[in-house]
Chains A and B, each alone.
Chain A
Amino acid sequence: MTVMPTLEGGLRIDADDEGDWELLRSIISDANCCQTDLASRLGGLMTDEAVSEDWEELIVPDLREEFQDQLAEIGASIEAAIFNADNGPGPIWITPDDAYPWYSSLNQARLALEEIHHFGPEDTADPLNMDPNQQLAFIRSGFYSDIQSLLLRHVMK
């Protein structure tokens, strides 16, 4: 897989094969892999009695819908690109308008993987002491992080 900036201010991801497309699909499945969704986890931080009840009732459902909408948008883009490439080599573009939903979806995936595996800061994590499932998750998280860095550097300026 190759990821590169475009002249239009976005990113282009070139998938080489079916495995690359599966890796991109895993953004969505990883983002949804926690029992407790991200909106509820963030809402759970609001422990002050004066605000916690209203937060759970009014804010969390809105956040949940927003996060799911972003995942649905990116999931649909990935599936359309896979269809166009007939599951073989092919590109997917991230335009400047798509950058934030992409960043958000990648972040949701990384936050969910962290919630499950507790990798900690990337520079202190030790993949050699992880089980194979954790190692794969750690590698995916690093891949998502690399795309996020490219988005921040080249698109979300």
Chain B
Amino acid sequence: MANPKTLTRSKESTELDVPWNVIVHDDPVNLVRYVIFVLMKIFGYNERKSTVMTMQVHRQGRSIVWSGEREKAEFYVQQLQAHQLKSTMEKSQ
């Protein structure tokens, strides 16, 4: 009896990960100066960049403060929530 032979064909495909956005939402409690302080502390942004993002939160209701891979986005949202900022993450469109 002939040995059955199995042909194995492998196929690799690479798909680019869609980046995740980290979003800070406006709320009537957190002070502007505190939000600037938290963005500088967590992301290492300078005061100017943190201020621009904070004013965007204040005026437009939300600001994308960081984009990138999912695990890092989760870490940053956890840090923002630990500082009591309303924050979420969503897949970039």
Contacts and interface: CB of A to CB of B under 8 A. Distances in A.
The dominant DSSP class at the B interface is: mixed
Which of the four size classes fits the interface of chain A? 20 to 34
Contacts of B84: 38, 42, 104, 107-108, 111
Interface string B3-33: 0000000000000000000000101111101
Contact of A107 (B29, B74, B78, B91): B29
Given A59-B81, A111-B29, A103 B89 contact: no
Interface string A18-60: 0000000000000000000011001101111011000000010
A134 to B, nearest CB: 15
B33 A110 contact: no
Contacts of A45: 25, 86-88
Interface residues of B, number: 22
Q: Which 10 A-B pairs have the closest CB atoms?
A: A42-B81, A121-B28, A152-B33, A110-B29, A114-B29, A45-B88, A107-B84, A111-B29, A120-B28, A59-B78
